[in-house]
Amino acid sequence: MAKQSSVLAIDIGADSLKIAEFSFPQGGGIVLGNFAFKEFGGDLKEEELGEALKVALNQALTEIEFKTKSVHISISGQSAFIRFVKLPPIGDREDRVRQVVEYEAKQNVPFPIEQVVWDYQLIGNTEGESEIEVMFVVIKDTVIEDIVNIIESHGKEIAIIDVAPAACYNSARANEIGGNECVMLLNIGSKCSSLVFIDSGRFFVRTIPIAGHSITQQISKEFGIPFNDAEELKRKHGFVALGGAYEEPDSEVAATISKIVRNVMTRLHGEINRSINVYRSQQKGNKPSKLYLAGGSSVMAFTPRFFTEKLKIPAEYFNPFAVVHLSENINREGLAEVAHMFSEVIGLGLRRATSCPIEISLVPQKLRRLQEIKHKAPFFYMTAASLVLCLTLIFLAFIKQGQIDQKKAEMSNKVVADTDVLKNQIRQEKSRLDGIIAKYKAAKNVLDSRKRWPDLIQEIQLLIPDNMWLVSLKAKSSSEATSTTEETPKEKESSSSAAPSSIFGPRKKDTSVVAAASLGLSWIDFKGYFLNLDQPVPLEKVLRDNILKSPIFTGDDKDVKTVDFKTNPTKNSEDNITLFHFEAKLKIPINK
């Protein structure tokens, strides 16, 4: 079940404090859960009212535990400045209406507008006219601030600040008073009386400075006694003396007091008549048909009879509790003693329960802003908490991401280290492979060289013409070849006839070719014999030509050298055998 809403209604009068705690069940209605009534006591001056209110409120809240925090307040009509003005039709724009009302307030309020708290209420159009009737209420800001400080010092939160006549009017309308006729509600308080006109939904009020305080002052003056003693006599013997011939009471004191009361009531009646005339002439209101009485000073005996006789209309007490349910544990006897003073309190409670005809709120703008901020504070705190939570989550996410990145970095470093190890191992293995490949190539070259020898021998054999045979065949390097180490007879002659050595010394041989050629076996040494027959072409020339044409030799004439050529090498001169010895350079050297 949802929690019931509640409100604490406080009516601050001139000499008393009325408190009521209302709750509002889900099914509807308004329930009075608890109440308190405290009098300030004595003839208080305006500057003493604040301290008296503080003491009375402390006592009330100490004796009874009011748990409700939200507070509705009503202030006596004596402290408020209430005016009714008529405005030309200015449309429905609220800002424009407020601007015009503010101008009227500045013209009618006897205080600077900056030093007051004010609000207004549109009453409606006067019948048959197009003018707008507006009520504005003004209270000095110092009065409001003092009350606010006292209430908030007890941990309460002020939601509405109303004036007593408006609260009383709302209470009467809730009890269906003045719906189809014009009636008056007279609240006779301590220092002032509020006369409220309820005319078919229309509202008009006048504050009359004649009330119970005036009676007590007259008694004090008549008997020459202090104010508090005079108040005690009024409550003990006070009643409204009947007009005409009637039997006076046996007590001379009571008879005197009753006459004083009648005199004050007569003055009050005169002000009521004047107010009726003003209402009917200026506000175009209807003639009142009934009078309802309320307030602490209205309970003196014969008061309804007095006003019935004077006004010629019925007068009775106003019962505002018809729309209120009482809780089971409430003190009904105690409530009955002060019920006539709770019309304003019930009107305040109705402001929470339903939409009321008059909804004045004199809460200062500064307090409203503070309350708005206070009401929004939980949302601010939730937003701040959410922001902190988000930042915390982001921070934790960054930390977590940092940890993940650190682990990834460590894993990457480990992978890099392992990769470096593998790279070194691969480099070492590659070096080993290069060495093996080098050995393989060397072995392959050797094998290839061995294979070349049969091919080489077979090719040379094909170069040898008939009647010629080889006795020696071997390979040499360039350094071992006769062409580079020894000189032929012609070369010796050319060298002997050459110019002498240079002045810089003997001419050096070019060893670069020798060094390059010495890397392999590039020369083939041929040695053999042939029969010296009468051939058309000498066999040695045939062999030389064959060597130059062979694909295995360079084919260059200078790369075929005659090392030795001897005829009749043996002692037998009759032998027709010739010795030949050639060297020829291979096109592709044979590796050693």
> Can you give the pLDDT at residue 283?
85
β-bridge partners, 33? none
Position 45 scores a pLDDT of: 78
How far apart are the C-alpha atoms of 343 and 349, rounded to whole Å?
10
Give the relative orientation of helices 227-237 and 212-223 as an angle to the nearest 10 degrees. 110
The gap from C-alpha 178 to its chain's centroid, in whole angstroms, comes to 53
Per-residue pLDDT of the chain (592 residues), as tens digits, is 344 589 999 999 888 999 999 999 988 889 999 999 999 877 777 778 888 889 999 999 888 989 899 999 999 888 888 888 887 776 666 667 778 777 877 777 777 888 888 888 887 654 545 677 888 898 988 889 889 999 989 889 999 999 999 999 999 999 999 888 999 999 999 889 999 999 887 899 999 999 999 999 999 999 999 999 999 999 898 899 887 666 777 788 888 999 999 999 999 999 999 999 999 998 888 999 999 999 989 999 999 999 999 999 999 999 999 999 999 989 999 999 999 899 999 999 999 888 899 998 888 877 777 766 766 777 778 888 888 888 888 989 889 888 898 888 888 898 899 899 999 999 999 999 999 998 888 888 777 777 777 888 888 888 888 888 888 888 888 777 774 434 444 433 343 333 333 333 343 444 433 333 445 788 988 888 888 777 777 888 888 888 888 888 888 888 888 887 775 544 444 567 888 888 888 888 877 6
Asked whether 590 and 449 are in contact (CB, 8 A), the reply is yes
Domain ranges of the chain: 1-76+140-175+319-363, 364-450, 464-496+507-590
| Residues with Cβ within 8 Å of residue 506, at least 6 apart in sequence | none
pLDDT tens digits, residue range 11-63? 998 889 999 999 999 888 899 999 999 998 777 777 788 888 899 999 998 88
Predicted confidence (pLDDT) per residue in 537-579, tens digit = 788 888 888 888 888 888 888 888 888 777 554 444 456 788 8
How far is Cα 253 from Cα 493, in angstroms, rounded to an integer?
A: 186
pTM listed for this prediction: 0.64
DSSP conformational letter for 79: G
CA-CA distance, 510 to 220, in Å (whole number)? 157
Question: In this structure, what DSSP letter does residue 556 have?
Answer: -
At 503 the pLDDT is 32
Question: CA of 385: how far to CAs of 222, 372, 374, 399, 573, in Å?
Answer: 70, 20, 16, 20, 132
Q: Are the C-beta atoms of residues 104 and 98 closer than 8 Å to each other?
A: no
Element (H, E) at 149: helix 141-152
Q: What is the pLDDT of residue 492?
A: 38
Query: Looking at residue 186, what is its pLDDT?
Result: 95
Provide the 3-class DSSP secondary structure of residue 21. Answer: strand
507, HSE (Cβ side, Cα atoms, 13 Å): 8
d(CA 207, CA 82): 8
Task: Name the amino acid, one letter, at 440.
Answer: Y
Residue 210 to residue 194: CA distance in whole angstroms: 9
**pLDDT of the residue at 489:** 42
Q: Alpha-carbon torsion 90, 95, 98, 102, what sign?
A: negative
| Residue given tokens 């030949």 in the structure block | 580
Separation of alpha carbons 560 and 563, rounded Å: 9
Top CATH class of 1-76+140-175+319-363 equals alpha beta
CB neighbours (10 Å) of residue 292? 26
pLDDT of amino acid 567: 58
Is the alpha carbon torsion for 145, 105, 98, 85 positive or negative? positive
Q: Which residue has the tokens 């009467």?
A: 172
Rounded CA-CA distance 486/518 in Å is 16
Question: 411-430: string of b/e by CB count within 10 Å (b at 16+)?
Answer: eeeeeeeeeeeeeeeeeeee
What is the distance between the terminal CA atoms of the chain, rounded to a whole angstrom?
A: 112
